[in-house]
Amino acid sequence: MRTLTGTGTTPLSSLGTARWYRPNADLTLPDRPDPDDVDVDGERERFNRVRERAREGIERARDRAAERVGEEEAAVFDAHREFLDDPTLVGDIEAEIEAGIPAEHAVRSAFEDPIARFERMDGRMAERADDLRDVRDRLLRLLLDVDAIDLSTLPSGTVLLAERLTPSDTAELDPDAVAGVATATGGRTSHTGIIARALSIPAVVGVGDALTGVTAGAEVLVDGEADELVVSPDEDRRADAGGLDLPVVRERVETADGRAIEVAANVGRTAEVGAASERGADGIGLFRTEFLFLNREEPPDETEQYGAITDALAVFPEDRVVVRTLDVGGDKPVPYLDRPDEPNPFLGRRGIRTSLDEHADLFDTQLRALLRAAEGEQGDGLAVMFPLVTRVEEVEAALDHVESVVDRLAEEGIPHAVPELGAMVETPAAAAVADVLAERLDFLSIGTNDLTQYVMAADRENDAVAEYHDPLHPAVLRTIDRTVKAARGGDAWVGMCGEMAGNPALTELLVGLRLDELSMSAVTVPAVKEAIREVNTGQAEALADEVLSCATRAEVKELIGD
């Protein structure tokens, strides 16, 4: 038995058979001809033709990834389109072609320096090199007329080994066939890791050169929780295989001293609803309706939205399903809405702001579908929340819209009911007036991804300030605490639906902060339920008090561990 250490990105483990993936083995370039023998016009035309085909391929990859793993994960392909159209890259390629260099040689040469520059950077910026490789290799395969290897047809039980996997590679994997993934390069926030986690595929990345010593056909254990790849595991390790993929707990759980915590799932597409149920989620804590509006030519009508909502309610007939109204803008562009370009879209026209203004018609249509669903057989479990609230007036205006829709449905004789209504707390403004919001609403849900970026003034899409985007910074933790206390003062329940909620290492702290509900990626539901069962509420609250007194992230880390 031999154990290799890397970085686990999916908290699951599985046994399988090692198979190597070496995609660049067939991308050897032919010898470069003499520049005088090169048809410059022909090569330029060939490159432009291939670039257009690559753009179409990226669009298909994006659509496929959005359908299989979710819209947020598929957004990486937007960066691929930008690289493909980058004027500096394209200009360098065209300049080399003008100098008598064939298109495939020009492409490889032009990408070398940008890839090397990103590799020299730290953190998530370094991982952009893989995005560039993905675009480069897509162009080279088209120029060399080489078919891509079909990773969607790997044999069942495959543990895929590779120096690196691009986002396109990872999005192709079939989670029913692939037992795990291990790569020599990559980090926890790499696109490979993010997509593998969305597909619930055990993954360990950044294993290093030691990975090359693993032979094809070997039995290996991918342990995403222990950050290990175990070659030829002994009986003890074999017996533990899948042990971190904890048994599904169907019933609701309580802390060791009897406090109930709701553990729900975040979903961003229809297929994820069933997966959430299979993982034992206590309903849905964040139903992102954006997926109904994306990758299409026109918005969904009332009937389609009603069907999607009632289908989700049918999967969780005894549980709560929290639906977020349309949240476009920021990192969720919808082309057919013809939205203006903004210098900083995260601080621009998005969320409830557009629902109350330019997209009020879409908002009212969505409310009609929601209120009709609330009257259905499982409608008692429906809850609706408004995104990116910053002002009390926005909530009051949204409630006016609800009342107006109620009146119209009544006039039309259409059965309807008003579900629980709540708001997302994603901004310091919402946290500051949480007490007033809680007086008007049934619940608040803390979205830690956006809340962290706004509290810390650190764009979560900007790799240059990634170190600032830290939900364990005392400023963020105190904002969460203030929100929970304010919600309780207004007799509203309060949940959390950001990535922070799905980290079992933080479960004790979140219980100590007295959250009523935690909602997360379905893959982590069993681990969080198991963690809740081990928590003593009194000790958790004492830990929370200590953490809230910390002045720095380092002090927080010392208290709760890495």
Helix, coil or strand: residue 45: helix
The CATH number that applies at residue 285 is 3.20.20.60
For residue 173, the domain's CATH number is 3.50.30.10
Give the number of other Cβ atoms within 10 Å of residue 437's Cβ.
27
C-alpha–C-alpha distance, residues 537 and 515, integer Å: 11
Q: Do 463 and 384 belong together in one domain?
A: yes
What's phi and psi for 440, nearest 5 deg?
-100, -15
Q: In the annotation, is 359 catalytic?
A: no
Closest CA to 384 of 267, 485, 284, 239: 284
Q: Are 43 and 8 within one domain?
A: no
Of 105, 359, 473, 497, the catalytic one is 497
Supply the DSSP string of 449-480, one letter for each residue. Answer: HHHHHHHTT--TT-GGGGGG--TTSHHHHHHH
Q: What distance in Å separates the CA atoms of residue 261 and residue 470, rounded to the nearest whole number?
A: 24
Residue 426 lies in a domain: yes
- Domain edge (last residue) among 97, 119, 144: 144
Rounded Cα gap, residues 10 and 117, in angstroms: 29
Identify whether 191 is a catalytic site residue.
Answer: yes
Residues contacting 278, CB < 8 A, separation 6+:
248, 522
- Distance from CA of residue 377 to its chain's centroid? 31
Beta bridge partners of 204: 8, 182
Q: Do the beta carbons of residue 159 and residue 18 sit within 8 Å?
A: yes
Give the Cα separation of 188 and 520 in Å (integer).
Answer: 17
- pLDDT (0 to 100) of residue 243: 45
Same domain for 305 and 178 = no
> 105, 191, 359, 401: which one is catalytic?
191
Tokens linked to 115: 């890839």
How many domains in the chain? 3
Q: Give me the pLDDT at residue 244, please.
A: 46
Q: Does 528 fall in a domain?
A: yes
Distance CA 388, CA 113 (A): 40
**365 Cβ contact list (under 8 Å, min separation 6):** 299, 301, 302, 305
**400 and 521 housed in the same domain:** yes
485 and 347 belong to one structural domain: yes
The length of the chain, given as a count of residues: 562
Q: pLDDT tens per residue, the chain (562 residues)?
A: 899 999 888 778 888 899 999 887 678 898 999 999 999 999 999 999 999 999 999 988 888 787 777 777 777 888 888 889 899 999 999 999 999 999 999 999 999 999 998 888 766 667 788 889 889 999 999 999 888 788 888 888 899 999 988 888 888 888 878 989 999 987 766 777 778 887 888 899 989 999 999 999 999 999 887 889 999 988 878 776 654 456 889 999 999 999 999 999 999 878 789 889 988 999 999 999 988 887 778 899 999 999 999 999 999 999 999 999 998 765 555 667 766 667 777 787 888 998 999 889 999 999 999 999 999 888 899 999 999 999 999 999 999 999 999 999 999 999 999 999 999 999 999 999 999 999 999 999 999 989 999 999 987 666 567 678 889 999 999 999 999 999 988 889 999 998 899 888 899 999 999 999 999 988 889 889 999 999 999 999 999 999 999 999 999 989 987 5
- Among residues 245, 292, 249, 261, the alpha carbon closest in space to that of 512 is found at 261
- Asked if 34 and 9 sit in the same domain, the reply is no
Would you list the DSSP string of 537-551?
HHHHHHHHHHHHT-S
- Check residue 330 and give left, alpha or beta (phi > 0: left; psi -120 to 50: alpha): left
Confirm whether 50 is domain-assigned.
yes
Cα 323 from Cα 147, distance rounded (Å): 42
What angle, rounded to 10 degrees, do the helices at 40-69 and 76-84 form?
170
**From edge to edge, which strands make up the β-sheet containing 178-183?**
2-5, 228-231, 219-223, 13-20, 158-162, 178-183, 203-205, 7-10
From 144, 166, 184, the end of a domain falls on: 144
555 in a domain, yes or no? no
Q: Are residue 173 and residue 287 in the same domain, yes or no?
A: no
One-letter amino acid at 290 equals E
Single out the residue of 318, 261, 307, 231 nearest to residue 520, CA to CA. 261
Q: Quote the pLDDT of residue 367.
A: 98
Does residue 257 belong to any structural domain of this protein?
Answer: no
Secondary structure (DSSP) of 97-145: HHTT--HHHHHHHHHHHHHHHHHTS-HHHHHHHHHHHHHHHHHHHHHHT
Is residue 182 located within the same domain as residue 317?
no
CATH code: domain of residue 47: 1.10.274.10
Q: How far apart are CA 245 and CA 247, in angstroms?
A: 7
- What is the C-alpha R_g of the chain? 25
* 73 and 190 part of one domain: no
Contact 21, 161 (CB under 8 A): yes
**Crossing angle for the helix pair 553-560 and 474-489, to the nearest 10 degrees:** 70
Task: Kindly state whether residue 179 falls inside one of the protein's structural domains.
Answer: yes
Look at residues 224, 240, 256 and tell me which one is the last residue of a structural domain: 240
Helix (H, G, I), strand (E, B) or coil at 491: coil
Predicted model pTM: 0.72
What is the extent of the structural domain holding 81?
A: 24-144
Q: Are residues 436 and 474 in the same domain?
A: yes
Give a yes or no: residue 139 inside a domain: yes
Residue 368 included in any domain: yes
Residues 274 and 226 in one domain: no
Give the C-alpha separation, 460 to 237, whole Å: 38
Same structural domain, 278 and 364? yes
